[in-house]
Chains A and B, each alone.
Chain A
Amino acid sequence: MSDIASRVKAIIVDKLGVDETEVTLEASFTNDLGADSLDTVELIMEFEKEFNIAIPDDQAENIGTVGDAISYIGENAK
C-alpha cells in the first residue's frame, strides 16, 4: 500500500470510528462508512491538512469513496 493510501485510511479510521478492514478502495464514505454530510466535510479538511493541499468544493463533491480520495490526492499532492 502506498504511503498516501495508508495515511488516507488512517484519517478515515480515526474520524469515522470504523474498522480498518472496512476501509476498502470501493467503500463509499456515506453509503458504507456511516459518514453524514458534516463528516464528509471534516474528512476533506483533514486530507487538506495532512497533505498540505487545497481541495476546491466542486472537486470535493466528486470524492465519494476511499479510492477517489487516494487518487485525487496522488494527482494533486506536492
Chain B
Amino acid sequence: MEFRRVVVTGLGTINPIGNSVAEYWENLKNGVSGSEMITHFDASKFKTQFACEVKNFEPNDHFDRKEVRKLDLYAQYALVAAKQAVEDSKLDLEAEDLTKAGVIWGSGIGGIKTFLDEVTGYANGDGTPRFSPFFIPKMISDIAAGHISMKYGFQGINYGTVSACASSSHAMIDAMNYIRMGKANIFITGGSEASINEAGVGGFNSMQAMSTNNAEYKTASRPFCNTRDGFVMGEGGGCLILEEYEHAKKRGAKIYAEIVGGGMSGDAYHLTATHPEGRGAINAMKMALEDANLKPEDIDYVNVHGTSTPVGDIPETKALQAVFGEHAYELNISATKSMTGHLLGAAGSVEAIACILALNNQLVPPTINFTVADPNIDERLNLTFHKAQKREIRAALSNTFGFGGHNASVIFKSFIE
C-alpha cells in the first residue's frame, strides 16, 4: 500500500510562555522561563508552590457565559488552540468534505478540576447526590475532541487519546496514519491539559515527581542539570492541522513541515519510572525512523521528553546514544520543558510545534537553567544549553514518555516537494 504524504498546514497554542504561536516562539528562542508562584489556588500547604501557568487567560474573552460553565479548563484550552490553528490553516470549511475531516485530541487526565469540585460538593453535602448533569461530559478526557468537532462540523474520525504525558503524540501519530491510509484528508489534532489545581499538584507531589524547589522556582525546571529535583507542572494546549499533501497543494495552503513518521512502544517495566536503559524510548525512536524511512544521520534536532526528574533524564540520553550512535554527538538536543514546564498530555503537541518552528527558523531553542553537569550524562552531547543555536535542521524528532510506560516519538521534516 502506497502511503499518502501528510503535511502540517496550521498551528495554534496557548501555553505558559505564549498565548499565540508567535509569542511562544519569541519566548522559546529567547530562553524565557514560564514558572511563577501558583495563582490558581492557595498552595501554601503544598510541597510545591509554583508552576508554569498560562498567563492572562480570561475564559469570557473566548466563550459566552453559558459555554464556560460546560467546559472544563482543559477543554477551553483545546478550543482556543484549535481556533488559532483552524484560522491559521485558512481552510474553507464550506468547500470541504467534512466527513473526511477528523479530530483526534490527547489529554492525560481530562477535567480533573471538574471531578474535584463535584466530588467535593458531594462530600460536603448531606449524602444526597446533587451531581451536575454536566459533571461527566465536562470531565471525560475525550470531550475536547467532541467539542472541537461540534465547533467546526468535522464529521470524520473522532476520539481522544490517553497515554499520560505521551497523549498528544499518540493523537498526532494516529491522525497522520489515518490520512496516510486515505481514511481522512484533514485532522485537527494535538492535546491539552489543565491540572494545576489541588488534586493535580497534590497527587504529583505525593509521587515525588515534581520539583519542590520553591526558593528557586524560576529556574527549577532544569533538565540534565545535576541539581534537578523533579518536573515543574505546566498547562495549556497545542494544535496542529494535519492535511494530505495533494489536498493542501490544491488549495494553495501554507505548508509548515511534513510529518513523516511515528513510533510507539511500551516499557513493560514500572508504573512511573522509565526503564533504566531506556528500552521503550529506544524502540519508539527506532520505529519512528523506520516509519519515516530515515536514517539516524538524517535527524539534526531532538526535542527530548527531558522533564527534569532525577530518574528520567539519564535513560533518555542513554537511549539517544543507543539509537544514534556516533551521530548522537552531531545532534542538537534540547528540553524545552525548561521553559514551558511539563504540559503532561499536551506536551507532545506544544513540543511538536517547537520542532516545526525550529525547522522553519533553522534555529534550535535552548535548554535553560543548567548549571552543574551530571556525571551520568555524556558531556559530548550537545544539549543546547542556555542559548538557542543556529544550524541546518533537515528533520526533527520529538520524544514523549508517559506514566504507564507509554512512549511515542514523532518526526517532522522540512517540506521539500
- Residue B200 is within 8 A (CB to CB) of chain A in the complex: no
Tell me the B51-93 residues at the A interface (CB within 8 Å).
64-66, 69
Tell me the A44-64 residues at the B interface (CB within 8 Å).
45, 48-49
- B137 and A38 contacting across the interface, CB-CB below 8 Å: yes
- B130 and A41 contacting across the interface, CB-CB below 8 Å: no
- B133 and A41 contacting across the interface, CB-CB below 8 Å: yes
**What's the interface size class on B, roughly?**
under 10
Tell me the B125-152 residues at the A interface (CB within 8 Å).
130, 132-134, 137
- Residue A42 is within 8 A (CB to CB) of chain B in the complex: yes
- B137 and A17 contacting across the interface, CB-CB below 8 Å: no
- Residue A4 is within 8 A (CB to CB) of chain B in the complex: no
- B65 and A42 contacting across the interface, CB-CB below 8 Å: no
- A42 and B66 contacting across the interface, CB-CB below 8 Å: no
List A contacts of B133 (CB < 8 A).
38-39, 41-42, 45
- A49 and B132 contacting across the interface, CB-CB below 8 Å: no
List A contacts of B66 (CB < 8 A).
15-17, 34
Q: Given the complex of chains A and B, what is the CA–CA distance between A11 and B202 in angstroms?
A: 34
Taking CB as reference atom, which chain B residue is nearest A48? Answer: B130
List A contacts of B134 (CB < 8 A).
38, 42
Residue of B65, B130, B133 with highest tally of chain A CB at under 10 A: B133
Q: Given the complex of chains A and B, what is the CA–CA distance between A38 and B66 in angstroms?
A: 12
Taking CB as reference atom, which chain B residue is nearest A14? Answer: B65
Tell me the A1-30 residues at the B interface (CB within 8 Å).
15-17
- B65 and A49 contacting across the interface, CB-CB below 8 Å: no
Q: Given the complex of chains A and B, what is the CA–CA distance between A39 and B130 in angstroms?
A: 14
CB contact between A17 and one of B64, B130, B132 (< 8 Å): that residue: B64
List B contacts of A42 (CB < 8 A).
132-134
Residues of A within 8 A of B (CB): 15-17, 34, 38-39, 41-42, 45, 48-49
